[in-house]
Amino acid sequence: MVHADASNFSEGITKDDAYEQVLMQAEGLFMDQRNWVCNLANAASLLWHAYKSLPAPSKEVNWAGFYVLDPSSRHPQLILGPFQGKVACQTIAFGRGVCGAAAATQETQLVADVDKFPGHIACDGDTRSEIVVPIVADTDGNGVKKVVAIIDVDCTMENGFDELDKKYLEDLALLLGRSCDW
Ligand code: SME
């Protein structure tokens, strides 16, 4: 199979099956590759094409990608990583917006209506709902997991994401956490 085929999802596929394909392809791609830029770039592509193969609201995803821990910042901050979609905010401090909340709390933020989330950062005015999942890793080898990146997916419809998205994106976050050198 050529690499690009990994991003082809069958017509009429269920959300479960689409995410299963994302996870299976990602696991295969990460087998011989631990570079985080490379792996996040391919993961963004898999997610984007999975959403586009599904009915609304998933089809109306307008941004899917990653922010990573900014190594050049003295205060904890995220910086834009690989993504699919329009140009986005470059840096986000821990605690700011939906992404910063996920990074600060190490907990998934499932936001049904971004207008109701205090401090939401409107990178794109079309975004109506959002899910952000932290990726953690034990980078110091002391058994303490810290946030190394976050998965961010935005949708132009309210209630774009549900518990199924949360479950599978958390599985993807676990896979990425252990499959890359952060
Ligand atoms: N809306 C996010 C910012 C990132 S962009 O949507 C890509 C937030 O509030 O953290």
Q: How far does the centroid of ligand 1 lie from the alpha carbon of residue 95, in Å? A: 12
The residue to mutate among 48, 89, 90, 108, having the most atoms of ligand 1 within 8 angstroms of its beta carbon, is 89
Q: Quick check: 23 pLDDT over 90?
A: yes
pTM: 0.97
Enumerate residues lining ligand 1, CB below 6 A: 63, 88-89, 92, 97-100, 120-121, 123, 127, 130, 152, 154
Query: How large is the average pLDDT for residues 114-118?
Result: 95
Q: Whose CA is nearest to atom 1 of ligand 1?
A: 121
Q: How far does the centroid of ligand 1 lie from the alpha carbon of residue 53, in Å? A: 23
How many residues are there in the chain?
182
Q: How far does the centroid of ligand 1 lie from the alpha carbon of residue 98, in Å? A: 6
Instruction: Report the atom number in ligand 1 closest to the C-alpha of 117.
Output: 9
Strand partners, 83: 65
CB 78 within 8 A of CB 67: yes
Query: How large is the average pLDDT for residues 47-63?
Result: 97
CA–CA distances in Å: residue 61 to residues 30, 47, 126, 174:
25, 10, 10, 22
Give all strands of the β-sheet with 77-85 in edge-to-edge order: 91-93, 77-85, 61-69, 146-155, 129-137, 109-111
**Banded pLDDT at 1 (limits 50, 70, 90):** low
C-alpha to C-alpha distance for 7 and 25, rounded to whole angstroms: 9
pLDDT digit string (tens) for 132-168? 999 999 999 999 999 999 999 999 999 999 999 999 9
Strand partners, 78: 69, 92
User: Which residue stretches of 79-162 are H helix?
Assistant: 97-105
Instruction: Report the atom number in ligand 1 closest to the C-alpha of 120.
Output: 9
CA–CA distances in Å: residue 154 to residues 92, 128, 139, 145, 162:
16, 8, 28, 26, 13
**Banded pLDDT at 24 (limits 50, 70, 90):** very high
Phi, psi (deg, nearest 5) at residue 109: -110, 115
